[in-house]
Structure formats: structure tokens, C-alpha cells
A and B are shown apart, each in its own frame.
Chain A
Amino acid sequence: MLYVQAVINGLLVGGVYSLMALGLSLIFGVMRVINFAHGDMMVWGMYLSYWLFVRLGVDPYVSILVTGAVVFLLGAVVQQGLVNRILEAPHEMQILLMLGVALTLENLALVIWGPDPRRVNTAYALRTYWLGPIVLDLPRVATFVLALALALALYLFLKRTDLGRMIRAASDNRVGALLVGTDILKVFALAFGIGAACVGAAGSLMSPFLPFSPSTGIFFTVTSFNIVIIGGMGSLLGAFVGGLLVGVSESLGAVILVPSLKELFSFVLLILILLFRPQGLLGGSR
């Protein structure tokens, strides 16, 4: 029964992981850039959410709109100002650049807010529902539902709108998209922005039940990489499914092993994934 509970919890958290990974996958799919600063952008979303909650009493589920927008801007600015200049550069340079961004973001957060862990303690944080013998706590359920909603919104945007189609075209065939007159740099900025917005929103969604500090960033980054590599670099469906999978396995891992070794589990998983399935379970273009 403990295991079923763990699986349920894992699924609920997995929703946010999926959202996080969708953002990363979108960025990679369109620009072939690996966003090393992904987790740190999420942490900024979390800090923003916290600040809005503590200063203005804004519920984190509402502040998604703000965090999403702000991190979108952050992503777009990073793209326009920095990433654009190194699109043709060797991969190592791109990674170092994004690493620089990650370091800057993480330590700026450290300078501003200090190293102590924060958490958004909403009034309803302890509200639980019973589904037979399974406990469901409200924050996790709300997070899951909203994460799913956002993922669906993203999917519809990419499939049904013109902008979305442009983005998909650019990711499938950059030269082709250029030939039909796509303003490719705008598409890139948009894609990076949306990818960042996903992760900023994910931050808001996570903040009610996960304590965070500046150093949490790297953990989210690695988890995102884990998911995206499992699901297939550039595959959005893979990112979605992978997020749920990783959420569940992490949760189970915490139950089977000592909880403090949860991080250890992610890294071991990462190594195994790197060695055995860098193309991902759902294929993908790498």
C-alpha cells in the first residue's frame, strides 16, 4: 500500500516534471541548444512565487501567470542577447555559455535571498483528501491538474496556432523555414521564451510543497536532462511521458532507499541513461 501511495505521489509530482521537461525539449528541439540554466530559471520562478506570496499574499497558483510571464521574458532576453550569437558555434561553447548563465542566476539568487531554504506555506497546504486508503494532499493535486492543463495548452498552441506551426516547422527544418520567409530569430526567441515560461510556471507549481534554495537549481536541471534524455531529445511526447516516469521512480526510490539518497538516485539514473539510452525510449533525433 505504501508503494501505491508512492506511485500516486510520484505521478502527481511527475506532472510538474513533465512541464519542466517540455520546456527543455522545446528549446532543444527548435534551437539544438542545451539549456544548462533550466533548473535555475525554475528556481527563480519559485523565488518569485515566494516573494509574491510573502509580500503581496498572492497564491502561487495564481502567480503562475506572473512567473510564467517574467521567466518568459528572461528566456527571450537570454536567447536574443546571448544564445543567438553562438548558434553556429561548437557545442562546447554553447554549453559553457549556458553554464555561465546558470552560475549567474544561481548565485544572484544566493546573493539576494541567501542560502536558507524557503517554502511557500499556503493555508491549505495541509488539506488532504482520502481516496479509499490513499491520501491525496491538495497542493499536489492542484499542481498536477494545473501542470496538465498547461501541458495541454502548450500542445494545442503548437498544433493549432500559426505561431505554433511556425515553431514546429523551424524545429523540423530550419533551412526550409527560412526559405518560406520565417523570421527565424523571432521564432527562436519565442520558443526559448515559451520553454522558459514552462519552467517558470513549473516553479510556481512546485513552490507550495517543495522547500528550495539556490542550489536546488542544479537538481532540477539534472532531472530535466534525465527526463529529456529518457524520452528522446526533442520529442515532446517523450518529455511528457518521461516526466511522469521519473516522478514515479523517484518517489518509489525514496520509499525503497533512504530518502536523503533521493538525489543520489537521480544521478545514478542519469549515468545509466547516458550509457544505455542516449537516444531515448521514444527515439529522437540525436
Chain B
Amino acid sequence: MKISARLGGVDEARMRLSKDLAAIGVKSETSRQVCLALDEALTNAIEHGSSRADGEVEVAYDIAEGFIELAVTDQGGIIFNPEFFEQLALVKNWGAGGRGILLIRKLADEVYFVFTPGKSTRIVMRKQLFPRMPEASKKGISE
């Protein structure tokens, strides 16, 4: 799914994910955590990843074998060290924000950032939804 790089798009993506998670019986607490992680990743991508007003952010997720893999890709390709912001959030006492990456780390089981300089920044998060998947698998939003 591609959404415009505006914060309005976050709601749309979150609602769609939330609906899909509910449909396969994911507990509301787990669903809330996954949606919050998506929220944070999308907000970061929109606010910091896209330099153009008409930019797009790509959201994809895949649910299989009791896990969800979420990927958010923006067209910024600006290299940064997420650990920097994560740790800065712990000590800084100015401004709002800066805690998104910290939250994502807490909410997801695996977190990866892939930077293709000048082209894209991709964050991939993986989280266990069930101890075992009740149904075989479900494909999420695709391109």
C-alpha cells in the first residue's frame, strides 16, 4: 500500500492493519502494540524521510506462521543511526518526540533499518502474534 507522505495517511494504514489483525483473531493488546509500532514508523517516515511534499511512503505487511512482518519504506534514503535518537530520547530534556524508535524497539521482536543512500529508507519490524497460527497464513496489503 502506498500512502501520501502526510500524517493523514497514517490513520488509513493503521485502521486497515487493525481490521486485518482482528479478522484473524489477534488479541487486542497485541494488535494495539503492532499498530502503535506502525504508527511510529510511518510518522517517522513521513516527517523525516520525505523531503518532498508529494512524496509517498510504502507500507507492506505479511502475516505468516503466527508472525507479522511490517515494512515501511520512504524515499528519503537519509542515513542516520537509530540508536543515536533512541539514546538521545533517554537523556534529552528539550522538544517533543524522538521516542518513536525507542517504542518500536520495545514493541517489536526484530527491528531492522536498511538505508539505500539517496533512494530509500526501509524499516522492517517483526512480531509474534500468536504462539501458533490458528490458520495457515494470511497475506497482507500488497503493492
Do these two chains interact? no
Interface residues, chain B, with chain A CB atoms under 8 Å away: none
